[in-house]
Chain A
Amino acid sequence: MSGRLILEDGSVFHGEALVEGSRFAEIVFNTSMTGYQEILTDPSYRGQIVIMTQPHIGNYGAYDGAEESHRVWVEGFVAREFTGRRSGLGDVDLGVYLETNGVPTLAGIDTRAAVRRLREFGAMRGMITSCDRPDAELIEQVRRQPTMEGRALVDEVTCESPYDIEPEGEEKVRLAVYDFGVKQNILRSLVRHGARVTVLPARTPASDCLDLGVDGVVLSNGPGDPEPLHGIVREVRELVEARVPTFGICLGHQLLGLALGGRTFKLKFGHHGGNQPVRDEESGQVSITSQNHGFALSAESLPEDCKVAAVNLNDGTVEAFKAVGRPIFSVQYHPEAAPGPHDAARLFGEFLDVCVQEAGPGNEAL
């Protein structure tokens, strides 16, 4: 069955529809060489079709434990080749997994040509389809789709009600995690370090969160544009004012920035991959990080009492900031990796230490 990838600039790529179906979405590319199942199940990809640049996808199949949420979120999946039968430790072939999860999938695409188009013209609306309607008609339809800007996708991916997760081993701290589309490995990383975690729906009022008496709050990753999430930004501001230790990741980082008075903007084609170099402005140390975002905080917009703590070595965008004198830290990248390098995994331990310290007896007087 033949299929097409259609971009709003009018380019059409022909391939083979491995899983049939048609979807409109924003088209992004991911340069990770491993971890396709983690990517498929990352809620931050809500509303996006993902092109993988690594030509062989599916080599080790799909398996329990690689999922970053309870379902597949990408709207469509594109690669040059999909491995028919898995090798290694997987439980099921990726093709079966994609079929079962109903992810329209295209193989046989000159992905590099598509990526170059996206690099030159920026992230685009587009579609993946196995239908036989004429190109011109579909291009027209693509151009009528809404863009990512201004869409509140968080509400489509957050949990319906709060739930708790037990710590591994002894409980060190109690944390709340705002679920804007949280990746499981964030939760696993916190729990592994001894946090009892309450996961909260995205629209939970700050006061409810504070009433839980948590030692710290994690603002999770999530899909899309932070700008339209005014309500959430308001609640985050309240949390910040309550001086509860707060750690933002990706979308959470952008929301935190907005709450502190910063602004965000859309990157040309975003950062999606596992090789993004981030330089710590204090130590000069470079971490290779996993990233997945289309929007970023503007450095100039950050208030005086916030300090850019790390920048992306490639394009100089803000990768982390700290609020001076307050236990607030946030990163644009994904310290939980999954997929990607573990260079920044220590951040979870460091955040927990801050929470322990802030909650400690010496600090009660504050």
Chain B
Amino acid sequence: MARRTDIESILIFGSGPIVIGQACEFDYSGTQACRVLRREGYRVILVNSNPATIMTDPEFADATYVEPLVPAVVERIIERERPDALLPTVGGQTGINLTLALSESGFLEKSGMKLLGAGIEALRLGEDRQLFKRAMVKAGLEVPESGTAKTLTEAREIIDRLGFPVIVRPSFTLGGEGGGVVFNRDEIDDVVSRALQSSPVSLILLEQSVLGWKEFELEVMRDVADNAIVVCSVENVDPMGVHTGDSITVAPQQTLSDPEYQDMRDDSFTVIRTVGVATGGSNIQFAVEPGTGRRVVIEMNPRVSRSSALASKATGFPIAKIAAQLAVGYTLDEIANDITGKTFAAFEPTLDYTVVKIPRWAFEKFERADGTLGTSMKSVGEVMAIGGNFREALMKGLSGLELEAAWPQQEELVSDPVSLRRRLSTPNWQRLFAVFAALRQGWTVEEVAGASSIDPWFLREIESVVECEAELACWDLDSVPDPLLRRARLSGLGDQRLASLLGSEESQVSREITRRNLDRVFKRVDTCAAEFSAITPYLYSTPGVEDEALPTDRRKVMILGSGPNRIGQGIEFDYCCVHATFALRRAGFETIMVNCNPETVSTDYDTSDRLYFEPLTLEHVMAIYRREQPLGVIVQLGGQTPLKLARSLEAAGVNILGTSPEAIDLAEDRRRFGDLLAEEQILLPANGSAASLDEACQVADEIGYPVVVRPSYVLGGRAMSICYNQPTLLNYMRRAADVSPGRPVLLDRFLEDAFEVDVDLVSDGRRAVVCGIMQHIEEAGIHSGDSAAVLPPYRVSEADLDRMRDIAVRLALRLGVVGLMNVQFAIYGGEVYVLEVNPRASRTVPFIAKAVGLPLVQIATRVMVGETLDEIGLVSEPPVDRFFVKAPVFPFDRFHGVDPVLGPEMKSTGEVMGVGRSFGSAFAKAWLGAGHALPDCGAAFLSVNDRDKKALLRVAERLRDLGFELLCTAGTAAYLSSRGIETRRVNKVAEGRPHVVDYLINGEVGLIVNTPLGGESYKDDMEIRTTALKFDIPCVTTISGAMAAVDAIEALRESLLQVTALQNLATRSLAGCESEV
């Protein structure tokens, strides 16, 4: 077989904004697909609404549309580009759902596009659980007993037949969203209704429970000649009942015998052939009953997935890239294995190491969220670790997680013997720590296995870590015998942990380990267990006698990545790290990437010259630094993860490139930074700190309410709150004091109703150039990451913009910034205030880079290695000739019972960009891209606080003029009526029925404008917003948001949305920043 010549252009969908269950793994897979298809000479057309992706960099496709992934918009793109074929399988669930929608409307057929990879029938079979099950049974495979229901009554009948517990799975949702387990009669209504609502087709599958069975996944690939291989087997440490995205997993599978595994492998081929995935990869899940070995098929994804990204990183076999090649006609035996350079993709990788993936949750961000785990995914990111054995990989993974309280502190939090059994038996995010605690408290492996259903093999490995630690605790650093220290290393215990067990210091342990010749060595991930030599330096550390790092003597730079995705630190920083490596490679440097997040482009083995898949801890980073001896290390691009290390790295003699850690610290130190601003005569909101309750009240009185309060030790808006009066401050203080005894809280005057503005710039130390200015659409007080924003600003005077430019440039030069800097301003009462300065890459960088058409990070990186902005050719602020709106997306639908209200603490997982010639059309697209439908007529519900009433008037008038009926609560209705606007009054929840929520549930409202009313109305607000979220009714919580929404509705009314490829926007070319592909 060979490359298809009957097609010339191929359309690819990205997966849109980062959400739980769909993160940057699809940037990784989409980037691979775009790259390889272009190399094969196809014209690639890409649609993805997420600007913070590498794949949407203009050089990765021939036509890149940063546009909403909705049928109406995509159809326009297809009409314009007329692609010959569509590859629907690299854009996650979004790509599949969009393809199915295009097919159902008949558009797909009409367009004449050929489907590559998997046809509509295969996509449907993979998604429709009932069809899938029927096909499996027909093919002779066993599946759990089940039935489908479209109503509650049908569901009850099926549950009667199946018996409890029953797994409820909605069709066509992402990451198990809306699914759950029904354990008793009381739970039926709640779980089933939620599932029915979350399925776009109101179809759910009720399935006999296989809770507690062992869970496995196979990553299978098939080519057009019907060759099939298994790339990787994965075993879930958490048994069935926990979504695989929330499970700790290990590769390769550990507990199946050869016949058990090979039979499963045979079944996986039956599945992929039965479903009819013609070419490409699929993820197939099985459950195996412990004790009997009985095996059932659970599900399959006929596309690349989070698991396939993990499998790619775990094995060195690039599934997405090869899937794309298979899709255009190549067979597995025609595709070279990049890692060995002399073998082919037609083989099965074999591992001589162990890989562990641990999910990263963000429950600390959602106070009322339920920390138990089930069939609906809740984690926001993951770390992968490679070790010489399971223990080492597990412990490395834990050290890469960067939890606020790290293991073993986490273990202490869950070690209460009374609740231990529950913590083991009910899956929850801290269960691993409970396992450690139980084993340490003398539970036997069998007891823990009995409570948790975790396979004893994994528990014995953990037990052996616990035993090793207990032994270590009997020694000190000088006397501890070599064999025990060696065992500790094999158990994955790091210097820090050893130091605490041996009563020593991390640095001393590190020296002693070296003295005793017990340093880890670096081994290569090579797909073949060393059977062939590896030409690709993809490395991990482990104890051993032979080091394979073989550093070169080239000029090289080390880039520290951003670790697991979290809320506030995600794909944006990976984007920055990847751009740094692009720029440095082009400038002739060797690049060394260090990261532990398997979902990313940065951990693709061919992104950098050398990849170290290691936790971003001082110990591991220093080991790589010592081995590689780079010119320097870049820490300012990977978010907080590398920044936290900057000072200790510097102290250890590491050359930090770009802005000094001292300057970064200075900007974070509020007292010193306040002094600096005072010297420069730059305004900062009034502020103070308080170590006691009384003091806090005193400070608040001095600076005036409302105040923003936060504990002094956190970053990224954690535990921040706005207090309007003393009672709320007291309430906050009582809670904050619990969190951080003895530590002061910081109080700032909250600049209510201010406009907030983000300014991003690049500085080479002598010259600083502003690159982009964004205005927040939400008012002050909402975390910048959660606020919709627009570039260029649309309601800020040129004079104010100039004042901000001037301040930003002055600060950059004063701080000695070499690289990127972000400043957040507030315009309040005619004055410009500085809220925050981040002398490093910020989340906004990729968005701005895309909007202004400049590779900002590449410029910054070149500056860091010594070039000047003059030399690069960036001397003035780039012009923008469109509107670019950023809209965030939130994970609230994952956290039942959590109030979806915004504040100073960031809650969003991702963002989209809307591009338009007018602000309204850009906002409309951003809104669509974020997954909301805007009404073009109907009723709008308005309920605002007194402060907002005046501003609401204009919104109400315009909505009225657009023909909307206005539903208002008493106060708002009275105000608007007094200004001559006709409204219909509706009851608040407490005022009796029918009340506002009834109207929402009945679908009578198309738009909600609800600004926080405070006080007793809090409960009302929460119910309204929760309902809005549940029924996907657009809900804006600020007046500026409401204005933008009205603009957008007008834009939608006036014309169909125009689509534009990035390549057609003005881009500016700079010396040395040519295409990377």
Please report A residues at the B interface, Cβ cutoff 8 Å.
13, 29, 31-35, 38, 53-56, 59-60, 63, 66, 80-81, 83-90, 108, 110-113, 115-116, 119, 273-277, 279, 284-286, 288, 313-314, 337-342
Q: Would you call A33 and B347 a contact (CB within 8 A)?
A: no
Chain B residues numbered 205-262 whose CB sits less than 8 Å from any CB in chain A: 225-227, 229, 233, 252, 254-262
Q: Would you call A63 and B389 a contact (CB within 8 A)?
A: no
Select from chain A the residue with minimum beta-carbon distance to B292. A89
Alpha-carbon separation in the docked complex, A331 to B532 (Å)? 23
- Chain A residues, Cβ within 8 Å of B262: 34, 337, 339-342
Select from chain B the residue with minimum beta-carbon distance to A272. B531
Q: Would you call A54 and B252 a contact (CB within 8 A)?
A: yes
Alpha-carbon separation in the docked complex, A194 to B389 (Å)? 44
Select from chain B the residue with minimum beta-carbon distance to A314. B343
Alpha-carbon separation in the docked complex, A81 to B342 (Å)? 30
Contact flags (1/0) for B456-472 with A, using CB distance below 8 Å?
11001000000000000
Alpha-carbon separation in the docked complex, A89 to B293 (Å)? 8
Contact flags (1/0) for B343-364 with A, using CB distance below 8 Å?
1101111111110000000000
- Chain B residues, Cβ within 8 Å of A112: 352, 523, 529-530, 544, 546
Select from chain A the residue with minimum beta-carbon distance to B353. A55
In whole Å, how far is B332's beta carbon from the nearest beta carbon of chain A? 6
Pick from A111, A273, A279: contact of B350, CB under 8 Å = A273
Alpha-carbon separation in the docked complex, A275 to B255 (Å)? 19
- Number of interface residues, chain B, beta carbon within 8 A: 56
Q: Would you call B531 and A89 a contact (CB within 8 A)?
A: no
B265 within 8 A of A: yes
Q: Would you call A313 and B347 a contact (CB within 8 A)?
A: yes
Pick from B291, B331, B351, B523: contact of A54, CB under 8 Å = B351
Q: Would you call B261 and A34 a contact (CB within 8 A)?
A: yes
Pick from A108, A277, A337, A342: contact of B346, CB under 8 Å = A277
Contacts A284-B331, A314-B343; is A53 near B455 (CB within 8 Å)?
no
Contact flags (1/0) for B508-536 with A, using CB distance below 8 Å?
00000000000000010000111111000
Contacts A53-B529, A119-B533; is A275 near B254 (CB within 8 Å)?
no
Total number of residue pairs linking A and B with CB closer than 8 Å: 161
Can you offer 13 A-B residue contacts whose CB atoms are under 8 A?
A: A13-B545, A33-B351, A34-B256, A56-B254, A80-B388, A87-B455, A108-B490, A112-B352, A112-B530, A116-B530, A277-B344, A286-B331, A313-B346
Q: Would you call A89 and B257 a contact (CB within 8 A)?
A: yes
**Further 14 A-B residue pairs, CB within 8 A, beyond A54-B351, A83-B460, A273-B350:** A32-B258, A33-B351, A56-B254, A59-B457, A87-B460, A88-B457, A115-B530, A115-B531, A277-B333, A277-B344, A279-B346, A286-B227, A314-B532, A341-B265
A-B complex: 3 closest residue pairs judged by Cβ atoms: A35-B258, A113-B546, A87-B457
Pick from B344, B346, B348, B544: contact of A341, CB under 8 Å = B348
User: Considering residues B225, B256, B259, B533, which has the most beta carbons from chain A within 10 angstroms of its beta carbon?
Assistant: B259
Contacts A110-B544, A314-B532; is A288 near B350 (CB within 8 Å)?
no
Alpha-carbon separation in the docked complex, A286 to B254 (Å)? 27
Contacts A273-B350, A275-B349, A288-B229; is A33 near B389 (CB within 8 Å)?
no
Contact flags (1/0) for B473-508 with A, using CB distance below 8 Å?
000000000000000001000000000000000000
- Chain B residues, Cβ within 8 Å of A313: 333, 343-344, 346-347
Alpha-carbon separation in the docked complex, A229 to B1056 (Å)? 82
Pick from B226, B257, B351: contact of A285, CB under 8 Å = B226
Alpha-carbon separation in the docked complex, A89 to B343 (Å)? 36
- Chain A residues, Cβ within 8 Å of B927: none
Q: Would you call B258 and A38 a contact (CB within 8 A)?
A: yes
Q: Would you call A31 and B528 a contact (CB within 8 A)?
A: yes
B702 within 8 A of A: no
- Chain B residues, Cβ within 8 Å of A53: 350, 352, 529-530
Q: Would you call A284 and B225 a contact (CB within 8 A)?
A: yes
- Chain B residues, Cβ within 8 Å of A314: 342-344, 347, 532
- Chain B residues, Cβ within 8 Å of A279: 333, 346
Contact flags (1/0) for B253-283 with A, using CB distance below 8 Å?
0111111111001100000000000000000
- Chain B residues, Cβ within 8 Å of A60: 255-257, 457
Pick from A81, A274, A286, A341: contact of B333, CB under 8 Å = A286
- Chain A residues, Cβ within 8 Å of B456: 85, 87
Q: Would you call A276 and B347 a contact (CB within 8 A)?
A: yes
Alpha-carbon separation in the docked complex, A288 to B333 (Å)? 11
In whole Å, how far is B15's beta carbon from the nearest beta carbon of chain A? 31
Alpha-carbon separation in the docked complex, A26 to B351 (Å)? 23
Q: Would you call B347 and A340 a contact (CB within 8 A)?
A: no
B390 within 8 A of A: yes
In whole Å, how far is A332's beta carbon from the nearest beta carbon of chain B? 16
Alpha-carbon separation in the docked complex, A65 to B979 (Å)? 88
- Chain A residues, Cβ within 8 Å of B346: 277, 279, 286, 288, 313
Contacts A34-B261, A59-B457, A87-B456; is A113 near B545 (CB within 8 Å)?
yes
In whole Å, how far is A102's beta carbon from the nearest beta carbon of chain B? 23
Alpha-carbon separation in the docked complex, A56 to B350 (Å)? 13
Q: Would you call B354 and A56 a contact (CB within 8 A)?
A: yes
Q: Would you call A56 and B261 a contact (CB within 8 A)?
A: no
Q: Would you call B343 and A55 a contact (CB within 8 A)?
A: no
- Chain B residues, Cβ within 8 Å of A119: 530-533
In whole Å, how far is A252's beta carbon from the nearest beta carbon of chain B? 22
In whole Å, how far is A193's beta carbon from the nearest beta carbon of chain B? 17
Alpha-carbon separation in the docked complex, A13 to B260 (Å)? 33
Q: Would you call B254 and A285 a contact (CB within 8 A)?
A: no
Q: Would you call B255 and A59 a contact (CB within 8 A)?
A: yes
